[in-house]
Structure 1
Amino acid sequence: MQSAAKQNYRIQLWISILSLLLFGAKIVAYHYTNSMAILTDALESIVNVIAGFIGLYSLYVAAKPRDTDHPYGHGKAEFLSAAAEGALITAAGIMIVYETVLNILEPNPVQRLDTGLWVVGITAVVNYVAGSMCLRIGRKNNSAALMASGKHLQIDTYSTIGIILGLVVVLVTGLYWLDKVIALLMSIFIIYNGYRIIRSSIAGIMDEADTELLKKFIRVLNNHRHPNWIDLHNLRVIKYGSLLHVDCHLTVPWYLNVHEAHREIDALVELTRQQFGDAIEFFVHTDGCLPFSCSICIKDDCPVRQHLFTERLEWTLTNVISNEKHRSGTMEQ
């Protein structure tokens, strides 16, 4: 198991244990208060517990090395975990609506809200800190499962804060029916965020392009371009859990020998690993430059230049994902 994968697994293990403890605290708070809004928070915490252990298993699977059946590794398991977590969040929101409607039909009196508020307030702080840590490490290690857990914990925090503010209003005004309204509003918020997590995980499963990641990748290459990197096209970046898989075509001077061309690829790989970490693999196809490449070639000391340099072509999201070689003002296959 790689160091990043070990760190992801260890963090997710602590998150799973923490979710179990916080769920217990919220159930105690509901027992004291009989508040539907607090029950809403507790029901969402059930999802935290289940999703935490699903995420833990997915990180274990994703950390397995590639094999003959999975030549690109097992990283897609993280997206499946995130999809399951999003589905559970949505289901929790629907369950909250159901429980709230039942409580409206058969009302139970709210009591001891002050005690309950202190308990859920503490859980909100703990959740936010844990969620921030998950998001920070998840972004660093490109872990979809860890980022889904972090988002879920912060969603839980925001819903808890909303519940606390609403219940403070209930305490001040004595309008106890607002407890049900708060529960319904928070359930809509929970369902919406569950949908967003599902949407994001399906995008990963379907290899949908990560536009922001591609833009950052292109910006790094533009800012550190080597003279022998004449052109770049057919760029694709695919996520396999914490692993980034990069395909591209790199145009280099036609007279470079195999070893010299490979050194240019090594330099490109080293540059990107400095920016994006070691969990990245490259499949780079090298093309020899053609006469029309001279107009965009920034190499000053080219011994075989046939045409004048006219403009430096800035690589952009539009022109590097195209499977076409570039020249000044136009493109050619």
Structure 2
Amino acid sequence: MQKARENIRVQWFIVAVAVILFVIKMTAWYLTNSVAVLTDGLESIVNVLSGFIGLYSLYLSAKPKDENHPYGHGKVEFISAGIEGTLITLAGLYIIVEAVQSFIDPEPLQSLDLGIILIGISAVINFGFGYWAYQTGKKNDSLALQASGRHLQTDTYTTLGIIAGLILIRFTNILWLDGAVAIVFALMIIHMGFRILRAAVAGIMDETDEELLAELIAYLQQNRDPKWIDLHNLRITKYGPTLHVDAHLTLPWYLTVKEAHAELDNIEELITHKFGDRIDIFIHTDFCQEFSCYLCTIEDCEVRQHPFEQRIEWTVENVASDGKHRLSRSV
């Protein structure tokens, strides 16, 4: 809950800053009549809208599990990020339309010096708050906050590019550069929107986080107990900041229910020690069979039917697959 409150507090700051920056950028556009500056201003509209959407999603994702949402409300963050990515993409497309129009019917620019100063101030503010939001979201495993921070930081880079373009126009008086700069950065904005949208769809579709899965399996392999004969059908699903892990663990068939439960407690404690209390774990136990003897490393097993031959190292391929581990000769 403490992380959730921190996420919401940071998002409130982002919303307030987004409103202030929108006013600054639109003032700069009014003074300069620059399509490139309008690019920055329109992106700030998206910042304001997505800021409120992100705030609402963080509020929902912080709510505890209930009867209607047994896995919590965390997936709303993926929806929030998806809406933000869509808005960013649409803003980029609109900017291209305005830039093309500026080529057809160019208008003189004015007050460029003041406009450059105002846009420069917004760039500094944007980067600082974007960095803070992204790092907080990364620390607290909030996709919505990371998306907001990444958006603000990217907005800073586009702003710097626009400033460079305005300075070039200021000294060359080549007016068509205004539209060209706007198109270049509109394409960057569209690319960023697609990336955020892609991450959101991946979360909604429960796409496997290969890096996280490999990290967990390597950690379990490093700390595995001889009684954990094999681990398979392991899956990780993200619901906002919460990770749901489920797997099948093969144990010696002669363990009592109490002893098997103790082994589950051990592996759950191991995972929680690594990833913290954001983990929700469900492990199904399987009993070993005759073919398991070939790869079982228990030295004092009194019911072994075949001698040990080879230990199978746990990898993403064999732990994520649905099937007990076995040597090819024991099929």
Report the CA distance shift for 1:126/1:312 in structure 2 as closer, same or farther (over 3 A): farther
> 2:134 corresponds to which residue?
135
Instruction: Report how many residues are paired.
Output: 331
Partner-residue secondary structure (3-state), 2:248? strand
Given that 1:230 and 1:289 are in contact with CA atoms closer than 8 Å, whether structure 2 keeps it comes out as: yes
1:11 lines up with 2:19 in the alignment: no
> 1:153 corresponds to which residue?
152
> 1:293 corresponds to which residue?
292
Structure 1 stretches of 4+ with a deviation exceeding 6 A read: none
Give, as a single letter, the amino acid of the residue that structure 2 aligns with 1:125.
Answer: V
Q: Once the two structures are aligned, what percentage of the paired residues are identical?
A: 53
> 1:191 corresponds to which residue?
190
Shift in Å at residue 145 of structure 1? 1.1
Distance in 2 of aligned mates of 1:134 and 1:274: 26
Given that 2:291 and 2:330 are in contact with CA atoms closer than 8 Å, whether structure 1 keeps it comes out as: no
Distance in 2 of aligned mates of 1:302 and 1:175: 84
Given that 2:106 and 2:175 are in contact with CA atoms closer than 8 Å, whether structure 1 keeps it comes out as: no
> 1:176 corresponds to which residue?
175
Distance in 2 of aligned mates of 1:130 and 1:223: 39
TM-score by length of 2: 0.93
1:322 lines up with 2:321 in the alignment: yes
Given that 1:324 and 1:331 are in contact with CA atoms closer than 8 Å, whether structure 2 keeps it comes out as: no
Report the CA distance shift for 1:134/1:225 in structure 2 as closer, same or farther (over 3 A): farther
* Matched ranges for 1:1-333 at <5 A: 2-329=1-328
Distance in 1 of aligned mates of 2:274 and 2:157: 32
TM-score by length of 1: 0.93
Which string of whole-angstrom CA distances, capped at 9 and with x for unpartnered residues, describes residues 73-127 of structure 1? 1111111111110111011111212222333333221223232223222322322
Given that 1:23 and 1:42 are in contact with CA atoms closer than 8 Å, whether structure 2 keeps it comes out as: yes
Distance in 2 of aligned mates of 1:167 and 1:311: 68
Distance in 2 of aligned mates of 1:279 and 1:218: 17
Distance in 1 of aligned mates of 2:128 and 2:300: 55
Distance in 2 of aligned mates of 1:60 and 1:211: 28
Distance in 2 of aligned mates of 1:78 and 1:193: 17
Report the CA distance shift for 1:288/1:39 in structure 2 as closer, same or farther (over 3 A): same
Shift in Å at residue 227 of structure 1? 2.3
Given that 2:134 and 2:149 are in contact with CA atoms closer than 8 Å, whether structure 1 keeps it comes out as: yes
Distance in 1 of aligned mates of 2:148 and 2:213: 24
Distance in 1 of aligned mates of 2:247 and 2:47: 39
Report the CA distance shift for 1:302/1:226 in structure 2 as closer, same or farther (over 3 A): same
Given that 1:133 and 1:150 are in contact with CA atoms closer than 8 Å, whether structure 2 keeps it comes out as: yes
Given that 1:325 and 1:331 are in contact with CA atoms closer than 8 Å, whether structure 2 keeps it comes out as: no
Given that 1:97 and 1:187 are in contact with CA atoms closer than 8 Å, whether structure 2 keeps it comes out as: yes
Shift in Å at residue 240 of structure 1? 1.0
Report the CA distance shift for 1:301/1:9 in structure 2 as closer, same or farther (over 3 A): farther
Distance in 2 of aligned mates of 1:5 and 1:143: 9
Shift in Å at residue 21 of structure 1? 1.3
Report the CA distance shift for 1:4/1:302 in structure 2 as closer, same or farther (over 3 A): farther
Given that 1:35 and 1:179 are in contact with CA atoms closer than 8 Å, whether structure 2 keeps it comes out as: yes
Give, as a single letter, the amino acid of the residue that structure 2 aligns with 1:252.
Answer: L
Given that 2:243 and 2:278 are in contact with CA atoms closer than 8 Å, whether structure 1 keeps it comes out as: yes
Partner-residue secondary structure (3-state), 2:325? strand
Give, as a single letter, the amino acid of the residue that structure 1 aligns with 2:206.
Answer: D
Unaligned residue ranges in structure 2 (runs of 5+): none
Give, as a single letter, the amino acid of the residue that structure 2 aligns with 1:177.
Answer: W
Distance in 1 of aligned mates of 2:69 and 2:92: 36
Partner-residue secondary structure (3-state), 1:277? helix
Given that 1:51 and 1:85 are in contact with CA atoms closer than 8 Å, whether structure 2 keeps it comes out as: yes
Which string of whole-angstrom CA distances, capped at 9 and with x for unpartnered residues, describes residues 175-225 of structure 1? 232111000111111112112211211111111212122111112211222
Distance in 1 of aligned mates of 2:132 and 2:309: 49
Indicate the RMSD between aligned Cα atoms, in angstroms: 1.9
Given that 2:234 and 2:246 are in contact with CA atoms closer than 8 Å, whether structure 1 keeps it comes out as: yes
Give, as a single letter, the amino acid of the residue that structure 1 aligns with 2:84.
Answer: E
Report the CA distance shift for 1:300/1:159 in structure 2 as closer, same or farther (over 3 A): farther
Shift in Å at residue 330 of structure 1? 6.7
Given that 2:65 and 2:72 are in contact with CA atoms closer than 8 Å, whether structure 1 keeps it comes out as: yes
Give, as a single letter, the amino acid of the residue that structure 2 aligns with 1:147.
Answer: Q
Distance in 2 of aligned mates of 1:293 and 1:136: 46
